[in-house]
Structure 1
Amino acid sequence: MLSLPSGRFAARLLLTLAGLLAGVPASAQSTQDLLPVTEAYKLSADASQPGVLKLHWTIAPDYYLYRGRMKFTGGDGVTLGEAQLPDGEKHHDEYLGDVETYHHGIDAQIPYTVAAGTARLTLSVQYQGCHEVDPKICYPPHTEKLDLALPAGAGAASAPAQGFGAALRAIDAGHALGAGSAALPAEQAFRVEALATAPDRLLLRWTMAKGYYLYRDQTALSVPDAPALKLVPAWPAGTAHQDEHFGQVTVYFDQVEVPVGIAGDLQGRRQLTVQAAFQGCQDGGICYPVMTRSLQVELPAAAANGAAAATKDDAIAAPETGLLLALLLAFGGGLILNLMPCVLPVLSIKAVSVLESGESPARARRHALLYTAGVLSSFAVVGGVIVGLRSAGHALGWGAQLQQPLVVAVLACVMFAVGLSMSGVVQFGASLGNTGAALANRSGPAGDFFTGVLAVVVASPCTAPFMGSALAYAFAAPIAAALAVFLMLGIGLALPFLLVGFVPALARRLPRPGRWMETLKQVLAFPMYLTAVWLAWVLAHQRGADAIGLLLVAMVALAMALWWFERSRSRGAFSRALVLVLAVLVAVPLYYLSQVPAPTRAAATVEGVVAYTPQKLAELRQAGTPVFVDMTADWCVTCKANEHAVLDTDAFRALLTKTGAVYMKGDWTDVNPTIAAFLQQYHSPGVPLYVVFPKGGGEGRQLPTVLTRGIVERALTEASR
């Protein structure tokens, strides 16, 4: 006999069952033969006796109900006593331990009282059961809402239902539309997130599992602790759907983002609790009861007229950088990026290309100009995308493209391919000793330009000193000023090679070409391989071992394609066509990698580290505890450098003990609207972000992106006074 435990293990069990059922022979009973939940367990209610509600379930053959999975909740003005349930059939369940179950039927009685003026007897009845023969499957917990007339003398006359609640009571939310494969728990089938895009605007995002959809018109938004505020959603176009219960409706599959306006006086609120009630179904399967989620949203400061503005308390977080200073900081930050470890592998490529140019000034200038064009074009594209998304009300941070697993995997393959080229497996450009000069004339400029593009891509996980303020200015500045800041970053990044290309005195100091350069080129391939390894490590944190397996398959296919590409140079058309076939094989595992779901992340268990949530931060601050907030990501090289040098040390842990501070960490490796809202609140373009909240209250102090022990010690010492 199969039973269903609660919690995360239940979700895993349901998924396992779904996979096992997929392999059942055609002769076995199909899941399509399962009854809808309300036919497997038919519930009837009798409220004719004052003060006692009688319930009866008629249970279909081969189905059973759990006694311990029944729950009864009274509605407005209704107080329920202890339910009187008969003893069930006792046995030991593999997952739940000792349980009692019911077959065929069950009668229950629930005493109740109603408050004066209560018009109807309303309550929710939750139960759960299973099918005990093939296919063995358990239904998700099911809730039915009862709305019954009170017997004479038990309450006042009934009142008409109004509004959204009446619409929900018009249908039993748990009725099945049919029985398909085992359904996911509601928390996995429907995920909802919220973030503030302006002081009076929110963005709600629903993400549905594959094969599930959300009703547009069965959704209600409210602010329970501020009833005067009204939330006005602007729903995008959805999919037309003919529904058994509601008729022609609009639904959403996969994901939907809904801009929501806040109407009413916020009265300086910095945090809002949004309650979202919504309903959805499995396509061709069960419909879920109405789900209610409470979402905490951090709001940016607002001026009296409703526009965003920094208050006096926000002065420490607001960017006060002028355009000229922002340009200088961007130039300095771009220049220092050349020394960051994430850019070093690409500099290896450029070092070889400049050395290969020998003493030819024309070739040196060409290398420098094309590399600079690639850098500036890439920064212009990044700036344009960020400005465009900002204008549309979306939030995007520096390095946020590495939150996308497919981008990480493709970039790892690119670094791997470049390493293979430098190792001599494949020749993309000209070889040393002027071999293949014709090929160089065609592919050399493209290679220089692409190297500049690659430098910008791999530089994004790094944040150099001076960059933080410049990027914060760019993320909030007018379009022209923002683009100027990004272009100045590019000029700083490209400057060393511009100088080498256009200053003959520097070029003359470069070593003369020779056979030793081939060895150097092969040695410099290994930083490229290490970069690919680092990106694979990031991917493992984002999507787990399955994604790493698919990435390794893609890399093997890529190596095969490049190997055959080199061999096909002197062969016929068939050999060159085979290169295209092998290249397509690289895309297959990458496609499946993009479908791998994110693993369930457990709460932080590292000793001395508290996982960031707005609620926990507010609780600590209310208690008068100083807090060090660290917003980080696995792909952020600057974050990892700070952890190694300062935060993951015995000295830092001793400092926390001395000051009584709590170390709170937020992980932005994947998309996380809660952390994005915190970054936006402090005008941070990305991670790392470090904020120290003082013991006695007041606004947090934002620290530089590159930490030293002295900076952290001074900040925590002051916060603990």
Structure 2
Amino acid sequence: MKRFLLPLLLLLFSTFSHAQNDLLPADEAFSFKAKVVNDEILLNWDVAQGYYLYKEKIKISSDFSIQLGTAKFPKAKIKNDEFFGKIGVYRNNVVVAIPVLEGDARSVQLNVGFQGCADLGVCYPPITKSVALDISSIHKPSLVDDALNIFSKAKVGVQSVVEKAVSISDEPLPADKAFAFSVTAIDSNTLLATWDVHPEYYLYHDKFFIETTGAEIGDVAFPKGKEKDDPLFGKVQIHKGQLNVEIPLKNIKSLPITFTAKFQGCWLGGICYPPMEKTTTITLPIQGVQTTTVAESSNMPSTPNAAESVPATVLDKTASVELNETDKITDILKQGDVLWTLGWFFVIGLGLSLTPCVFPMIPILSGIIVGQKGITTRKALIMSIVFVLAMS
């Protein structure tokens, strides 16, 4: 038996050694090149005769992937591979095109991985190639683009000069002075919100938020702001000087109504204030009656470092308005003393104990009373009263 095994092993070893000597180096079997043509990067493989490249094993990555489009692969031939089963392979010459998109990158670093085999039945380990390509000549701006770019830079420069022309104070103002806010009712269905912005300050257009309690807000025509290249938020719209916004109301349910405005702004000296919130109570005038004075309050800091709010001072109701039933009850409870209010709540509780939702408790209470051993009528009555009082 040993006489047969030894020649067989020698034959296998000699065959393997012969195959190893016939294999080409990986760089010769799969010669790889990359170059830029027009607005594409072309990856080229020259595959030697008797060798093939796996399509699924080609992996492409870059340090500027966002500036590269989707790679375009040629159609591969399906091979029933002894290692990977049915898989696409390339032979002879292979070209993969990668579109280059517009961007700021002037060069890209490509990392390309691939793997192939020889028809002899030997597969090479995965190969990785790194290439640096110059793409600065792609998507060069036209003369029109250059002109527009120069004009844009000049416009920004003029705006910065104008802003610098405004004398800036040494310290920032309190928020209530930098962004003086007020709101009044100009008629029974319209409010007028006003912001008096100091010349050294500005408000962000997209940071405004308004809401009301007791009424709904209709369609508001908010003025368009001026564009500014802001260091914090990029290109944004801002408002300077005086800003007036008319706010239509609809479906007014209760009076007075509460108006809340939220906004945020900055100082040209380089400090931005935290978001501010102003809450105002407004009594709308009856049709034909003069507008009422309102009370204003704030629950946000008045300066960038302050933590206390500035309370408002005046609430002048010059028009009496008929209240609905809910407001009438609320007004009555506000005017009464503590004992009278507790009595009211007790009476209301007694009424609630007779509502249908309490009916399911009656058989439960009856079962508890009947289940007591040796219970007297007086004790049963006391238990019923305790239940009703507790429910009240």
Same fold (TM over 0.5): no
1 or 2, which has the higher strand percentage?
Answer: 2
User: Per chain length, whose mean CA-contact separation is higher, i.e. which structure has more relative contact order (CA < 8 Å, sep 6+)?
Assistant: 1
TM-score w.r.t. the length of structure 2 is 0.32
State the TM-score, normalized to the length of structure 1: 0.18
Higher helix share: 1
